[in-house]
Chain A
Amino acid sequence: MRLSEIAGVLDCEVVLGAERLDAIDVRDCFAGDLMSDVLRYSHPGALLITGLTSVQSIHTADVADLTAILFVSSKTPAREIVDLARARDIPLLTTSRGMFDVCGVLYRAGLAAAAEA
């Protein structure tokens, strides 16, 4: 599912990387607010769904080779966080919908969980 389609079904505001959304194909997602969980269980290329807007969410996506970050519940990252994401080439989206809702919508749309045991 293209990231632009995800942005559409969730009524996302694109914070960063709008010009790239069409070219990014998302096959699986990882949702969580504990970055160690993300580092432990996520797959490279996954979409990170989180409510954590700290600098560590950007670093987590960067070191774990995640494709983009979707912030839930209208969480909006501060300017320095956006600047860091720009430097790391990580698109950022935000939606007013909550994490459970977002996961339900994307799961129903056919996306898989990017988690390994």
Chain B
Amino acid sequence: MMRAALAEPLLVERFPIRGGDYEHGGDAAAAIKSIMRQLGISPDVMRRLSIANFEAEMNLVMYADEGWIELQVFPDALRVVVSDRGPGIPDIGLAMQEGWSTATPEMRARGFGAGLGLPNMKRNSDEFDIASTVGVGTTVRYGVHLP
């Protein structure tokens, strides 16, 4: 049987995210977790991808003007694409370092801005890629492999 690398996803669900919408920051991660539960994904995989999704979602809420999170279900992997229109990241190497943060006091008061968002996403993924253009936006792709 062909592996899924070139295959079409079995399921695609896209969740729009509004910048600054803290009240709903986490809803998309919760919705994706619910889908994973229905698909019978193992608790460990579900937890890892949910943590990555929640960090990604909060990054959009905190930094982007608007964006979306898209879940793509493949037979052998769950992949997520997160894309935004926003300020972009001038130095991705710095942003990937644990503890480096440009968070405002408001973001920290809401429990974020520890400088762990992108590293947490990578740490909980089996695949990770990030591309960003300053003044345009950022796209992050990550995924977990299914046993």
Q: Footprint of B on A, CB under 8 Å?
A: 33-37, 39-40, 44, 50, 52, 54-60, 62-65, 88
Q: How far is the CB of A52 from chain B (nearest CB, A)?
A: 5
Q: Footprint of A on B, CB under 8 Å?
A: 22-23, 25-26, 29-30, 33, 43, 47, 50-51, 53-55, 58, 98, 108, 110-117, 119-120, 123
Task: From B26, B43, B55, B111, give the contact of A34 (CB < 8 A).
Answer: B111
Task: From B30, B43, B54, B110, give the contact of A39 (CB < 8 A).
Answer: B54
Q: CB-CB < 8 A to B50: which residues of A? A: 62-64
B47 touches A44 (CB 8 A): yes
B25 touches A59 (CB 8 A): yes
Chain A interface helix/strand/loop/mixed: helix
Which A residue's beta carbon lies closest to that of B53? Answer: A63
Q: CB-CB < 8 A to B26: which residues of A? A: 55-56, 58-60, 62-63
B112 touches A62 (CB 8 A): no
B117 touches A36 (CB 8 A): yes
7 contacts between A and B (CB under 8 A): A36-B113, A52-B111, A55-B25, A56-B26, A60-B111, A63-B33, A63-B51
Chain B interface helix/strand/loop/mixed: helix
A56 touches B51 (CB 8 A): no
A59 touches B110 (CB 8 A): no
Q: How far is the CB of B80 from chain A (nearest CB, A)?
A: 13
Q: CB-CB < 8 A to B58: which residues of A? A: 35, 56
9 residue pairs, one from A and one from B, having the closest CB atoms: A59-B26, A63-B50, A36-B116, A36-B114, A35-B111, A34-B114, A52-B111, A63-B54, A39-B51
Q: CB-CB < 8 A to A55: which residues of B? A: 22-23, 25-26
Task: From B98, B112, B116, B119, give the contact of A56 (CB < 8 A).
Answer: B112
Which A residue's beta carbon lies closest to that of B117? Answer: A36
CA distance A59 to B120 in the complex (A): 16
Q: How far is the CB of B50 from chain A (nearest CB, A)?
A: 4
B120 touches A40 (CB 8 A): yes
Q: How far is the CB of B41 from chain A (nearest CB, A)?
A: 13
CA distance A65 to B41 in the complex (A): 14
